[in-house]
Amino acid sequence: MFSLIYGDNYNAVSSEAYKIIRPFIDKDRAVLGLVTGSSPIGLYKKMIADHNANGTSYRHVVAFGLDEYIGLPRDHDQSYWTFMHENLFDGLDILPANIHLPHGDVDDLEAECARYESILRENVIDIQVLGIGSDGHIGFNEPGTSFDSVTHVASLEDSTRRDNARFFGEMVSRVPKKAITMGLKSIMRAEHILVIAYGEKKAEAVRGMMQGDICEQCPASILQKHPNVTVVLDRAAASRL
């Protein structure tokens, strides 16, 4: 079931997203599922600003990343490990031991998927933040991914690699072709889901997620089966609803 909230611009979308996530931080042991991309950066800035201004502590928070590129070492400037540290974790007092992200540069990827999924199973995510790809992907679960998928190795669609080339000096060839991602079933275990989408480019994917057929060709459409999803959008992302 979806609750829909609008923001007039990126800052307003980020503020609304922040209002949703803030109460979870007050829990004794908050488990957050976190996403990369341009959509959550404003939210993360607000979390850091609140930590700095009001002393809101994240020492009791456990964080899980959704996905990681395969083949990039953690210290690569475009790894999702680096993204999450630069855009969020380094600005908070979260304990390094409580930060979980899949490793994308290991020899045994299947073992890494199994390791990550087993930690996820031991921790119910209170709130999972998601962005959405222009093709309807969530995490790196591209169209055609099984709704029963757990953490797995995914191949990236050409359209996703083109979308993400902006982070790799506009060179699609530099964007990895594979990633480790939480599966759709892993994502659906979260108690609450918060989707942030901004801009006209996301409008069709947002329509598919909320109003399209529930089908594996639009991975985000699985969220129609979740009892508790908040979607924060600007008017452009909502323009096809």
List residues near ligand GLP by CB under 6 A: 35-39, 66-67, 131-133, 139-140, 160, 164
Dihedral class, residue 130 (left if φ above 0, else alpha if ψ from -120 to 50, else beta): beta
Catalytic residue among 16, 67, 68, 163: 67
126 belongs to the catalytic site: no
Residue 201 C-beta: closest distance to ligand GLP, Å: 8
Alpha-helical regions (H) of the chain: 10-25, 41-54, 80-87, 109-122, 158-164, 184-188, 203-211
**CB-nearer residue toward ligand GLP: 33 or 216:** 33
Q: Which is nearer to ligand GLP, 30 or 131 (CB)?
A: 131
Residue with the two structure tokens 């329509």:
207
Residue 16 is a catalytic residue: no
Least Å from the CB of residue 132 to ligand GLP: 6
Shortest Cβ 60–ligand GLP spacing (Å): 25
Query: DSSP letter string over 103-154?
Result: -SS-S-HHHHHHHHHHHHHHS--SEEEE---TTS-BTTB-TT--TT--SEEE
Give the residue with the Cβ less far from ligand GLP, 66 or 92.
66
Take residue 40 and report the two structure tokens written for it.
Answer: 């959550």
Q: Residues in the chain, how many?
A: 241
Question: Is 137 one of the catalytic residues?
Answer: yes
Q: Which of 68, 112, 137, 152 is catalytic?
A: 137
DSSP 66: S
Among residues 112, 142, 157, 163, the one annotated as catalytic is: 142
Q: How many CB atoms lie within 10 A of CB 180?
A: 26
CB of 54 to ligand GLP, least distance (A): 27
Bridging pattern class, strands 192-197 and 61-65? unpaired
Which residue, 60 or 229, is less far from ligand GLP as judged by CB? 229
Report the residue number, 97 or 203, with the smaller CB distance to ligand GLP.
203
- Does the annotation mark 90 as catalytic? no
- As annotated, the active-site residues are 67, 135, 137, 142
